[in-house]
Chain A
Amino acid sequence: MNFARIFFVGGLISYRALFNWIRPSMYIPTMLGSPLFQLIFFTKLGQFAHAESPDFYIVGNSVQVAAMASIYGMPMSIANAR
């Protein structure tokens, strides 16, 4: 029970402590704008290279972008805790 409480309360506090993305002025460019342009970039590169259809890049980049939020989030949580 204590383990679950630490897990959920710690998670909630950590979520609230994501100060880097807490404001729309930071969240929109970082978490929405940049991934969108990344998706456009690779889709256009694929189109130019005649390699795979746009769907291939849209799905692949969506998964990669979602993973990047977790990858960035963990090091930033540790760094900010320091």
Chain B
Amino acid sequence: MRFLRLIRAGFVVNVKMLATSSFFMLIAVAQPVIFATIAYYMFLSGGREGTLLYASLGAGMMGVWSTTLFASGGMIQWQRWQGTLELGVASPVNLALVYLPFSLANSFTGAYALAATLIWGRVIFGVPLHFAHPWLFVLAVPTVVLSLALLGLLLASTFVLYRNANAMSNLLEYPVWIASGLVFSTAILPAWTHPISWILPPYWGIIALRHAAFGGGVWFPLSMALALGVISVVLATFTLRWFEHLARARATLALT
């Protein structure tokens, strides 16, 4: 019960903070729409009219990833600036539990991107929103968002020590878009990159969403996304504990 109260309180506070941030609204709503528009025109230019929904889903997932990445990268840094990092670290509950609701809120805010690109594609480009498995799509969206949130927690844990987390956030945005094949198939990438794709929850997440939209097996990719998310949270529990110990030993916890 205490666990659920902690999750709810952290989630609500962080959603409110993100919802009042124009930066995150830009990343979660405006940026995916811009990328979706670019992808639409590129697909139209190449004669791929039938893949506009493909572009919408991909651009939406790009927005979910960007929001998760930047919010996870900034999460620890903002706590430093606000002077609340020490309070979070010193709190009696496990540090992973303190930051799990923050990660959930980050990805939840990122889910606006999916809605924004689907609505934008429908209204501006007339993209037909006909899903092969509508109920599985409804199930897949929160599951994929959850898996990305859990990966975000793992990222945030590594940023406890790394004071240039924002630079790392900038660097990781495009590579994950590429390796996950969010707006194009990973089949056009070199074969050596495929194992990298397989360990990324967004890769399985976008496959699950595409299969739910266009037809195909949804359960396997969805299970893979969730399993990788669970592995991420287990790893995050250990890395947070380890990095917290290192930050205390080096007295770098609160340094900006």
- The chain A residues found within 8 Å of chain B, CB to CB, are 23, 25-26, 29-30, 33-34, 37-38, 40-41, 44-52
Contacts and interface: CB of A to CB of B under 8 A. Distances in A.
A41 B174 contact: yes
A45 B183 contact: yes
B170 A44 contact: no
Nearest to A46: B42
Interface of B: 39, 42-43, 45-48, 164, 167-168, 170-171, 173-175, 177-178, 183-185, 188-189
A50 B39 CA distance: 12
A23 B167 CA distance: 11
B171 A30 contact: yes
Given A25-B164, A29-B170, A30-B171, A49 B43 contact: yes
Contacts of B177: 41
Given A44-B178, A49-B42, A51-B43, A29 B171 contact: yes
Contacts of A52: 45
Chief secondary structure at chain B's binding surface? helix
Chief secondary structure at chain A's binding surface? helix
**The 6 A-B residue pairs with the shortest CB-CB distance in the complex, in nearest-first order:** A37-B174, A48-B184, A50-B46, A51-B46, A29-B171, A49-B46
A47 B178 CA distance: 13
A27 to B, nearest CB: 9
B35 to A, nearest CB: 10
A40 B178 contact: yes
A37 B178 CA distance: 8
A30 B170 contact: yes
B210 to A, nearest CB: 14
Contact of A45 (B42, B47, B164, B173): B42
A40 B168 CA distance: 18
A50 B171 CA distance: 27
A34 B171 contact: yes
A48 B178 contact: no
Nearest to A47: B188
Nearest to B41: A51
A52 B39 CA distance: 13
